[in-house]
Amino acid sequence: MEAPELAVTQWFNTPAPIALAALRGRVVFLHAFQMLCPGCVAHGTPQAKKAHELFQNSDLAVIGLHTVFEHHAAMTPVSLEAFIHEYQLSFPIGVDQPGENGPIPVTMARYRMRGTPTAILIGRDGAIRHHGFGQEDDMALGAVIATLLSEPTPP
């Protein structure tokens, strides 16, 4: 399944908005989280940070997505910005566009995510290759990323 485009209202850690379409040919690790989700803070977000450092000289693009679907007033971009600063996150992070008909934001709905953290891996051809909810094992995730990186770039 082709990865849907991101719908982001505000970006951090990037000089310009990011579109998946422009990353075609690269592997993308999309880390969906909420700043007040304990499993994200303890595992998911540190894991995305580690992947960002470990694969920094590769074709992997790590992108954070703040998919707020609860406690909306508590997790505004102002609070997210402080969170990013305190946890020293340097990969690009986008704020998922609020949904029009409910608490689920737009990108989260497009990807049919079940909650946070969610780890999505997109191959060089733009297809979703991994879609995991909850705690991911580091070794398994490293293997998935390396496998996708080893695939040839589509013409």
* Residues at the site binding a second copy, with contacts judged by CB under 8 A: 36-38, 41-42, 47, 50-51, 54-55, 70-71, 73-75, 78-79, 81-83, 85-87, 137-147, 149-151
Backbone φ, ψ for residue 137 (5° rounding): -75, 135
**Between 16 and 73, CB nearer to a second copy:** 73
Quick one: 11 or 18, whose CB is closer to a second copy? 11
- Burial class of residue 37 (count of CB atoms within 10 Å of its CB; 0-12, 13-18, 19+): buried
Cβ–Cβ contacts within 10 Å for residue 81, how many?
A: 15
Smallest distance from a second copy to CB 102, Å: 18
Minimum distance from CB of 13 to a second copy (Å)? 16
Count Cβ atoms below 10 Å from residue 4 Cβ, excluding itself.
Answer: 14
